[in-house]
Amino acid sequence: MNNNSDPIALEQLTIEYCRHRGLNYERPRRYGENKVNYLIPNGSENESIGVLIKDWKRAVGVDIIIRAEQVMKASRYINKMLIISNVFSDPARSLAEKIGIFLLTRNDLLKILSSDLSQALTEKQENRENVLLY
């Protein structure tokens, strides 16, 4: 539910982020990947970054990080995970860093989109894999 007074939905920001970074994204088609919102191809045909969007008012905790890791390990196609939310708890951030799951907040997306808009039009990223790391 998004009316004029509501902030832009995280899913819309995520799609804009992917477009500005020149990243392809798709909804999962395979049964095992239906626990993520989007897949971003990462290198070969059989490797993808799973994108999980949690548009919650509360902070995402360790339990979601653990579930994301389980999805990544259970899938032979997802080799990395990106979780996007409004807020992450400090323990969730620590665990995600430890196991290699990338986190972006609404504020991160807004900063990236506003600062990179002119740069994205003039530069072409050569290494698409590293585009998610900042």
pLDDT in the model for residue 127? 42
Phi first, then psi, for residue 102 (nearest 5°) are -85, 140
> In the chain, what are the domains?
10-120 (3.40.1350.10)
> What residues have CB less than 8 Å from 31, skipping those under 6 apart?
none
**Local mean pLDDT, 10-residue blocks, the chain (134 residues):** 61 92 86 77 83 94 96 90 97 97 95 68 46 46
Q: State the Rg of the chain over Cα.
A: 15
pLDDT in the model for residue 31? 52
Count of alpha carbons within 13 angstroms of residue 27, beta-carbon side: 2
3-state SS string for the chain? CCCCCCCCCHHHHHHHHHHHHCCCCECCCCHHHCCCCEEEECCCCCCEEEEEEECCCCCECHHHHHHHHHHHHHCCCEEEEEEEECCECHHHHHHHHHHCCEEEEHHHHHHHHHHHHHHHHHCCCCCHHHHHHC
pLDDT in the model for residue 115? 76
